[in-house]
Structure formats: structure tokens, C-alpha cells
């Protein structure tokens, strides 16, 4: 199988945009038709609704974007039936030709980290969960990250290590300045860049990527310069407040190097004022499509992603 970074580059080029759709099913926000008369305490029923919702989103976005990111937390919230739904959603997305980054922010000490890596890294039957990539937390250090790096390379999968997260309080520890003058997140970035460099595919990017929030555009720009071999997974677009201009510097000059995630702003677009006027709640899939197309257009017109492959045709 082709190297993860090369598969991601090819998929982003083929779609002509770097949009990543976050699959964050939240019960209170599901369209009423999917919740129907269900009791959310009936975990199997709620998990079934999550699965149906995510499959519908996937059907809408698969022709438009390269990659989706299911958020494990929301599935875990439904217990074992939720985890079964997560597995189904990953398989369904893969089957629809999408790359799947499982957002689990996992990690542990060496031998346990290896178990997480075994579990999640590798699409299709290469791993139990079938992820193309997994988000990973760096706090436990090098020997916790190495098992992920090693298995990612073996299985043509990827990881995205948390470097500079998008939340307002992310800086409490990440921005602490160390005695050599670099902030903690810059030290993590240096480690990740080294791992990316030594695992680089033919596109120049490595199997090891970084999570870098759109909500800190200056640091994002500086990290792009400091991490030339590192794919960025950029959260924070949309509901968290960042726009296309904030992610302009996440890309290299060819428009590669970053995928920009949007979860609520796309999957629950039917609740946004601009779409409420155009679509009934029962037409929520149309709002998903419209919001995806708008984000694609914004990124293509205001960032180097405009240089990627084809324009999408506007079929609306």
C-alpha cells in the first residue's frame, strides 16, 4: 500500500481541496428526524442514530473531500454500542473512498502505546479499527511515540501528534517557555518534524503529522516554516472561530501540507442561520453539502489550496 502522506497528497489533489470533515455526532444536535422518538438512554438506539447520521454525512461529502475525522469521544459516550457504531462509520467512510483519521488523542507508555497503535493504525483489514491515521498526545515523550511511528510506517498509516491545539486554554502548558527559549509546543514540534523527515514519502511529507490549531495563525505560520516535512491537521475552523485567512499559512506553496477540519460547522450546518433560511431540518444533508462547498470555495479562493488540482463544479 502507498505511504500515508502520499495517499493524503494524492487525495487532496484529486479533490482539489484540503477540507477535512469532522464526524462529531452529538445527540442534542442531531436532526429531529434521526432522533425521532428515541430515548438517548437507549444506547443501542442512539448508536444506531449516530451511525445513520454519519453515513448520510459521508454520502454527501465523499464526492467532495479527501478525508474525514470521526471523534472517538462522542462514540465512547454511548458505551460499547457507540464503539460498534464507530467501527461501522470508519469502515463505511473507507468504503466510500475517504481517508479516515480517528481522533482519539491516545497514548500511553511504550508497550501500551503499541497496543493503541496496533488497534487503530491501518486502513481496511490492516487494523481492527481500520483507521488511516490516529491523533496522538505527546506528553509521555519519545518512547511513547515511537511505537506509533514504527507501526505507521509498517502499515502505510499516519499519526497526527498534538503540537499546538486550537482551544483557548491550550497555551497553559503548550506555551510555557523553556530555558533554551523555545516554547513547549516548539519542542514537541521539533520532535515531530524529525520523525516526519525520517519517514517522508515521495511527496516530501512524513507519516508523522501535527495537530496545529487555526486559532493561532501566527504560530501556525511559524510552525509551517519549522516543519517542512510535516502534514498539519488544522482544527479550529468554523465553530471555533477561525476562517480561511487564519489558515493561509498552513500550506506550502503548492497548496499541500495541511488539511483543515470543520466538524459542527458542516455536519450541523442546518442549525446555522444562513442555512436555516434555505433548508428545512429534514433537508439537513443539503445544508451539509452547501456548507462543505462554501468552505472548499473559501479555502480555494483565500489560501494556496487554490492551486490544488481541479475546481469543483458547482452543482447546486
Q: Residue numbers of the site for its own copies (CB under 8 A)?
A: 24, 26, 43, 71, 73-74, 76-80, 82-84, 86-87, 103, 105-110, 112-113, 115-116, 118-120, 128-129, 137-144, 162, 165-174, 176-179, 184, 187-188, 191, 235, 240
First-last CA distance in the chain: 36
Residue (255 or 265) nearer to its own copies, CB: 265
The least distance separating its own copies from the CB of residue 16, rounded to whole angstroms, comes to 29
- Shortest Cβ distance from residue 108 to its own copies (Å)? 6
The CA distance from 229 to 164, in Å, is 17
Active-site residue numbers?
105
Are 201 and 225 in contact, with CB atoms under 8 Å apart?
A: no
- Strands 208-212 and 232-234, bridge-based pairing: parallel
CB of 140 to its own copies, least distance (A): 5
- Residue number, 1 or 142, with CB nearest to its own copies: 142
Distance (Å, whole) CA 233 – CA 226: 15
CB of 232 to its own copies, least distance (A): 17
Q: Are 60 and 53 in contact (CB under 8 A)?
A: no
Nearest one of 313, 282, 273, 285 to 297, comparing CA atoms: 313
Is there a contact between 9 and 229 (Cβ–Cβ < 8 Å)? no
Place of cell 462554501: 294
Query: Min. distance of Cβ 288 from its own copies in angstroms?
Result: 20
Residue 5, SS3?
Answer: helix
**Closest separation between CB of residue 44 and its own copies, Å?**
12
User: Angle of helix 142-154 relative to helix 110-120, nearest 10 degrees?
Assistant: 30
Cβ proximity to its own copies, 184 vs 247, nearer residue? 184
Of 126 and 286, CB closest to its own copies: 126
Give yes or no for a contact between 96 and 62, defined as CB atoms under 8 angstroms apart.
yes
Neighbours of 226 (CB within 10 A): 15
Going by C-beta distance under 8 Å and a sequence separation of 6 or more, which residues neighbour residue 98? 58, 61, 62, 65, 66, 67, 68
Between 63 and 79, CB nearer to its own copies: 79
Nearer to its own copies, 119 or 290 (CB): 119
Amino acid at each position: 500500500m502507498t505511504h500515508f502522506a502520499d495517499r493524503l497528497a494524492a487525495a487532496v489533489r484529486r479533490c482539489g481541496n484540503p477540507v477535512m470533515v469532522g464526524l462529531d455526532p452529538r445527540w442534542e444536535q442531531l436532526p429531529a428526524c434521526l432522533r425521532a422518538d428515541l430515548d438517548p438512554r437507549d444506547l443501542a438506539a442512539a448508536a444506531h442514530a449516530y451511525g445513520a447520521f454519519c453515513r448520510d454525512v459521508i454520502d454527501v461529502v465523499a464526492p467532495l473531500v479527501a478525508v474525514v475525522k470521526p471523534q472517538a469521544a462522542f462514540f465512547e459516550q454511548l458505551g460499547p454500542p457507540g464503539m460498534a457504531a464507530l467501527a461501522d462509520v470508519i469502515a463505511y467512510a473507507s468504503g466510500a473512498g475517504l481517508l479516515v483519521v480517528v481522533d482519539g488523542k491516545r497514548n500511553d507508555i511504550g508497550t501500551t502505546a503499541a497496543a493503541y497503535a496496533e488497534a487503530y493504525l491501518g486502513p481496511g483489514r490492516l487494523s481492527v479499527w481500520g483507521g488511516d491515521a490516529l491523533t496522538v498526545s505527546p506528553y509521555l515523550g519519545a518512547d511513547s511515540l515511537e511505537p506509533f511511528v514504527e507501526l505507521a510506517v509498517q502499515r502505510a498509516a499516519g499519526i497526527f501528534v498534538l503540537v499546538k491545539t486550537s482551544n483557548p486554554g491550550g497555551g497553559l502548558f503548550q506555551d510555557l517557555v523553556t530555558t533554551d527559549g523555545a516554547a513547549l509546543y516548539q519542542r514537541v514540534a521539533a520532535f515531530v518534524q524529525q520523525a516526519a523527515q525520517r519517514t517522508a514519502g515521495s511527496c516530501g511529507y512524513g507519516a508523522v503529522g501535527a495537530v496545529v490549531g487555526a486559532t493561532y495563525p501566527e504560530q501556525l505560520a511559524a510552525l509551517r516554516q519549522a516543519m517542512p516535512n510535516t502534514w498539519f491537521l488544522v482544527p479550529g475552523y468554523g465553530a471555533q472561530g477561525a476562517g480561511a485567512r487564519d489558515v493561509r499559512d498552513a500550506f506550502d506553496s503548492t497548496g499541500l501540507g495541511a488539511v483543515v477540519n470543520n466538524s459542527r460547522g458542516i455536519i450541523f450546518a442546518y442549525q446555522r442561520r444562513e442555512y436555516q433560511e434555505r433548508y428545512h431540518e429534514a433537508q439537513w444533508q443539503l445544508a451539509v453539502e452547501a456548507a462543505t462547498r462554501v468552505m472548499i470555495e473559501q479555502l480555494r479562493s483565500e489560501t494556496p489550496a487554490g492551486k490544488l488540482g481541479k475546481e469543483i463544479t458547482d452543482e447546486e
